[in-house]
Structure 1
């Protein structure tokens, strides 16, 4: 397939963010060091909960986390005081121990050697007790970890190990990103790759090809020949692109993660997530994500665009395909990020859209198109509309071997006698008239009736039969090359630009059509090795009951969707609860309406919290003297002596109340819950998306 906006791009771009800076070479910035492939490829990526950016992640020790809450000066003061008291305890403890042994006659009666041994043993024993007791109270291990160990690490110089040593050789192999090639019989390819700069996209793409070659040793020589001939450009994406221009996010392509922000260090967040990088990857996107928030809260800039960037990079690495849907002016990346850019309404657009999704079954194609054409308020007539569309699409396909274009379909549904006569004649020539004669007769009987769904569909198709869309939906080869969703088994990057400004109702129909075709195509793919990702910048018009049901089926098809909504009120009420049940990941942005927050709050449920209640009651204890004293105090001060009672109990509270979600979320933050395809769940996290 031809590429739109694809070109060679040799520069490498990246960002430098905590926890592990990964400097890529930025175009026009020679001061930035080149990408360090060995450091990146061999960096530790410990196992972690879903949503944790694993590159450079360190699991939090609960005891250390509690100790880290103590401020510096109180910590040091307590350590010094315990050291002083511990020293005195050690001195006097040794003397007491000596006096005790003298009293029982141990030391004078023994030789000098034995006496010395007993004294040393006593010193060690007392010292151990002192360190155990006062070191714990003074938190000496925390002082060592915070201040002493870093100071020693800066002052002690470590000599480089002898390369001949076996342990050193093993360490060197761990720092060799191409060690698998050398050990697997592709040393020549490794030597070629060592001689030129290799980016993270190149590395993941070549490693994926190497894994495929290892499945059958016959392919190893072909792998070596390809790498020897093309180097880091071997097995390149069909566009020959090896990097995205304007790349801005921090990615770990080895795990398919994109870092979106930082989980906040607050009690509501699980301990393993606190202060850790927050990331999304295909393992969680495979359950689909629903994000709700009003305009201006950063849904597009901080969620949709980074995820689109990540999936486009993964497509260049040969691990994913992506379809990104949004308004023509939505900031979802430049056109150079995509292989196919579909812009109905733009005469300069290279590609059109196949209204039927290249469906092999005419009935299936007609059913999907009918659901996309009907507005939300007329979904009750969907069954009749599907039948009416099937009664004309099936015969047309049988007669002409293709699906009807917009104008032809509109004429058939409207009952144009000339078009119907031509169709009957073509069916007779093809020998298929008997099979479809009953459908055409039924369509003819419906024409002219007040409840004729054909007239309704013809009126809706008129929105697409406009001069602005000339050639965008052609099926006879006279228009732009149509893109069909059946190609989701290739690492394609597709951008659909909806004409929301000039033709808003047509944009709504097209968004519903594209999403429905994606859900349908992703679920029936034979080759599911690529993750199929869908990003919809405004999904308010793109969802119907069929699409919502399809979201659940995508979990097992290595596919998922990211759906953005301004408010759930934009959806029909009958779809809101099913949509929440269909997606595994839910994200609430600041300023959502309380009625939207209620659905999030109910979905996230409750948890146990410790609630402390303090009650004050008048003090009536004691005898005559104490009572008289209290009476005198009350007469002098005007206050009554009281007793205080503290009660602690476990109670169930909402994890996030609708009021908290609507009014307490700070700007640039979001609350997100995750579910992985494997079934692992992460409770709602407060995430800072600004860095």
Structure 2
């Protein structure tokens, strides 16, 4: 129950010699909830007071510091805040749905003139009434409701005077209401003074919900036979010992109980013993060291900005928060923009932070790939950091993706080595390269029970007589004579002109460099990370040696992308959302990679890719790439060529346009001519009449010129599609808000 059976990682921990110091495992493995430091000196205990949720809003306006609302732990208010259903991509925490269409807006000058005219009319009517110019008929309700003795001599005339004042006040209030509605006084005050607007937008203090509907009371646990666990968790939340990660993690553990994967007794016992730290991530972490974005782990969302109040945005999106979650990232996200436009800091980093938090909650596994030195989060936010090309590495990358199938390993490796040159290969794809590699990997594994190292594979691809002879002898000694035919076929093909083995040897030589000597070791001497462990809540960051080894970095990026698309689909347990974040995906998009991205949607997995320009993708694949991903993002500064591709995929919409034509008025008569001359002298314009033509036309949602020239700095145009098929139109997002 403590691990839900999902925290077992494979091929991730080195085996130090007996008696040597065993470092804390940096990847998930079977582990009980964190124990006190004395019992586990190398496992950091959970903090005594978990950090609060940064995304939680401040106390309601008007609450005095130290009052009842201020004393309540923020996690309780976070749990009770409503999250109404909304279109994909909208931040639902405290969201207030807006109308689908913008209400008719009266022009400011017309609003002021109408208010003034209605006020004058009301004042005129009041003057006529109060001065009895219209007779005393309007006083009959007063005469009807007051006794006649009040109006006679010797009666209670003071009471009649007060009744008269009250009646006058009611009539005056009625006139103000009637003429105020006619003159739109409330709208005038809201628009120009803002008083009513502020009071309207101010969120009233939400009443404390009924215990049966209060998420802070854990009603689902109480309703299904775990009241003791619910009481324990409620006490933990009230005492401030619980944060949002704890809530999300325990809710996932409870869902595993409801689905029958774990027993109710085991869950209850774990919660009673460990409280908010129950079912903790095997790393012992219950939060990230620091957060830079706003997260809502109940909705699995991370906020990346606010939809601008722009006429090109649909009215229901204007001013709302924009967020990403596994429901939309499952269709994959492509972000295109020049360097410095904010792709990494405004989008990639918040998504990585969100995936790491969800991994701590047992809901996701994340693989982050980027150039060395890129700011994708601190090292202690990850279980494993692989720094390819750095001396004395702590962790290594499995070149063959953790598979034992030579054909599968050959296909993945061929995609990494020559996937970008598939159009130049015989047959137009990398299948010939995969066949060539399989002819060597299969016999080598049969002879040595492992795959070859990079130097060994390079020698075999070069057809070195010594290496081929040694492999043939090893096969004969192992009794695998049937695989000798593979070597014979490889020998015959190597003699043909244009053999793909020469190209493969040249490409693998890029990884056979002194900087990579300590990496890609399949002999078991290094601690390797395998993407076969995507069914565990892993947090892995891979740094590529972009400087000095640009081509090798591209090969490794294609390798990770190929391994991810293969392993994510092949998972037996798809309950975790698997996310690959590839910062700077230039020269990694191939036809095979696009086919792999298409399969992720049904495997509860997705990828986040960034590009500086679509020119980094082969021209034949640019349209396919934009059609494959469900979420598209164009940043400020894209070229018109890139903008044209986005405009094409976003399509057109029907809009209402108004054409205004000015027609000069021909005066008839001397008086009218004199009036027109006077008006021209005063206004400087001739007297004209306006003719308005309203038409419905089809127009691009965002044209190439608009994307290239009208997107302000710090903004981007984002469209999202959910895994369920819901989609939202492209929205201009202020990433700084």
Partner of 2:725: 679
Q: 2:175, 2:679 → 1: CA distance?
A: 49
Partner of 1:170: 210
Cα pair 2:217 2:230 within 8 Å, conserved:
no
Flag the 1:293–1:416 CA change in 2: closer, same or farther, 3 A: same
Q: 1:421, 1:137 → 2: CA distance?
A: 98
Q: How far did residue 426 of structure 1 move?
A: 2.8
1:435-464 deviation per Cα after TM superposition (whole angstroms, max 9, x unaligned): x23321121122244412112211211111
- The alignment status of 1:342 with 2:386, answered yes or no, reads yes
Partner of 2:159: none
Partner of 2:75: 37
Partner of 2:487: 440
- The alignment status of 1:646 with 2:686, answered yes or no, reads no
Cα pair 2:118 2:179 within 8 Å, conserved:
no
Partner of 2:566: 520
SS of 1:653's equivalent in the other structure is: strand
* TM-score relative to the length of structure 1: 0.84
Cα pair 2:657 2:694 within 8 Å, conserved:
yes
1:64-92 deviation per Cα after TM superposition (whole angstroms, max 9, x unaligned): 9667x988x99899768746744765897
* TM-score relative to the length of structure 2: 0.80
SS of 2:335's equivalent in the other structure is: strand
Cα pair 2:313 2:732 within 8 Å, conserved:
yes
Q: Note the 1:238-249 alignment, pairs <5 A.
A: 238-249=282-293
- Among residues 635, 650, 656, which one is paired with 1:610 in the alignment? 656
Flag the 1:250–1:77 CA change in 2: closer, same or farther, 3 A: farther
RMSD: 4.3
Cα pair 2:102 2:315 within 8 Å, conserved:
no
Q: How far did residue 472 of structure 1 move?
A: 1.4
- The alignment status of 1:402 with 2:456, answered yes or no, reads no
Partner of 2:26: 4
Q: 1:19, 1:610 → 2: CA distance?
A: 39
Deviates more, 1:579-588 or 1:136-145: 136-145
Q: Note the 1:414-425 alignment, pairs <5 A.
A: 414-425=462-473
Flag the 1:151–1:508 CA change in 2: closer, same or farther, 3 A: closer
- The alignment status of 1:50 with 2:88, answered yes or no, reads yes
- The alignment status of 1:508 with 2:554, answered yes or no, reads yes
Cα pair 2:651 2:700 within 8 Å, conserved:
yes
Q: How far did residue 226 of structure 1 move?
A: 0.5
Partner of 1:251: 295
Cα pair 1:213 1:223 within 8 Å, conserved:
yes
Flag the 1:451–1:684 CA change in 2: closer, same or farther, 3 A: same
Q: Note the 1:28-427 alignment, pairs <5 A.
A: 35-61=73-99, 82=118, 85-86=121-122, 89=125, 99=137, 131=177, 134-140=180-186, 147=195, 170=210, 174=214, 176-193=216-233, 194-195=235-236, 196=239, 197-216=241-260, 219-374=263-418, 376-377=420-421, 379-381=423-425, 382-427=430-475
- Among residues 456, 472, 475, which one is paired with 2:519 in the alignment? 472
Q: 2:671, 2:318 → 1: CA distance?
A: 56
Q: 2:137, 2:339 → 1: CA distance?
A: 80
Cα pair 2:650 2:701 within 8 Å, conserved:
yes
Cα pair 2:305 2:323 within 8 Å, conserved:
yes
Deviates more, 1:256-265 or 1:436-445: 436-445
Partner of 1:532: 578
Q: How far did residue 282 of structure 1 move?
A: 0.7
Flag the 1:182–1:614 CA change in 2: closer, same or farther, 3 A: closer
Unaligned runs of 5+ in 1: 23-31, 113-119, 162-167
Flag the 1:449–1:265 CA change in 2: closer, same or farther, 3 A: same
Q: How far did residue 325 of structure 1 move?
A: 0.5
Cα pair 2:100 2:316 within 8 Å, conserved:
no
Flag the 1:250–1:634 CA change in 2: closer, same or farther, 3 A: closer
Partner of 1:657: 703
Q: 1:654, 1:456 → 2: CA distance?
A: 45
Cα pair 1:4 1:350 within 8 Å, conserved:
no
Cα pair 2:307 2:320 within 8 Å, conserved:
yes
Cα pair 1:89 1:130 within 8 Å, conserved:
no
Deviates more, 1:300-309 or 1:5-14: 5-14
Deviates more, 1:144-153 or 1:537-546: 144-153
Cα pair 2:475 2:484 within 8 Å, conserved:
no
1:393-441 deviation per Cα after TM superposition (whole angstroms, max 9, x unaligned): 122223333222212211111112232223223323333322x233211
Q: How far did residue 7 of structure 1 move?
A: 4.4
Unaligned runs of 5+ in 2: 1-8, 14-24, 28-42, 61-69, 149-165
Q: 2:372, 2:411 → 1: CA distance?
A: 27
1:108-130 deviation per Cα after TM superposition (whole angstroms, max 9, x unaligned): 9xx99xxxxxxx99x99998798
Partner of 1:564: 610
Q: 1:622, 1:324 → 2: CA distance?
A: 78
Partner of 2:502: 455
Partner of 1:583: 629
- Among residues 471, 488, 497, which one is paired with 2:543 in the alignment? 497
Cα pair 1:41 1:177 within 8 Å, conserved:
no
Cα pair 1:532 1:558 within 8 Å, conserved:
yes
Q: 2:632, 2:196 → 1: CA distance?
A: 44
Flag the 1:78–1:317 CA change in 2: closer, same or farther, 3 A: farther
Deviates more, 1:323-332 or 1:538-547: 538-547
